[in-house]
Amino acid sequence: MLQITRDGEYAVRAVLFLAGRAEGALSLISEISEAQEVPKSYLSKIMQHLVRAGLVKSRRGARGGFYLARKPEEITLREAIEAVEGPIFLNVCLIKKGECHRDEFCPVHQVWKEAQKRLFEVLDGKTMAQLVIDGESLLKKKPKKKSARKSPASV
């Protein structure tokens, strides 16, 4: 099965959370963890990858935390995923020319190439800023939880 790992999903959630904060605002790992429903110890490892990839910065100490290294408009969904997953390739033949000895005569090679190109267009076409806006719109549509009290008709 072809899918993004839990690491990739959690990285996207973390970057998206930071993108929704004011520019330069620091967020504690516990805040991100709670808001994005990611185990704190797992998130710590994810955040290290995001820092190494240059998407997130960290500040140590009592007033420390995490914040985006760049503006949300400059960070794509693909970058957040690849920060922890590494480069995305739909098939080994796409890693580099000659990686698969069949890439010159395989009828499926061009299909993989086109599919990967389109996937990149979608992932590169969505920035964290856009996803924050999309998320806010979706939250407005989310049904509100019903109150636990009984209505007069059910008594």
Is the pLDDT confidence value at 1 over 60? no
Paired tokens of 96: 């580099």
d(CA 53, CA 66) in angstroms, rounded, equals 14
Q: What is the pTM of this model?
A: 0.84
CATH number of 6-132: 1.10.10.10
User: Alpha-carbon Rg of the chain, whole angstroms?
Assistant: 20
Q: Tell me the domain boundaries of the chain.
A: 6-132
105-144 pLDDT, tens digit per residue, is 889 989 999 999 999 999 999 999 999 999 988 888 777 7
Taking phi over 0 as left and psi of -120 to 50 as alpha, with beta for the rest, 2 belongs to beta
Q: What percentage of the chain carries pLDDT values higher than 90?
A: 68
Average pLDDT over residues 36-57: 96
Contact 84, 50 (CB under 8 A): yes
Contact 11, 83 (CB under 8 A): yes
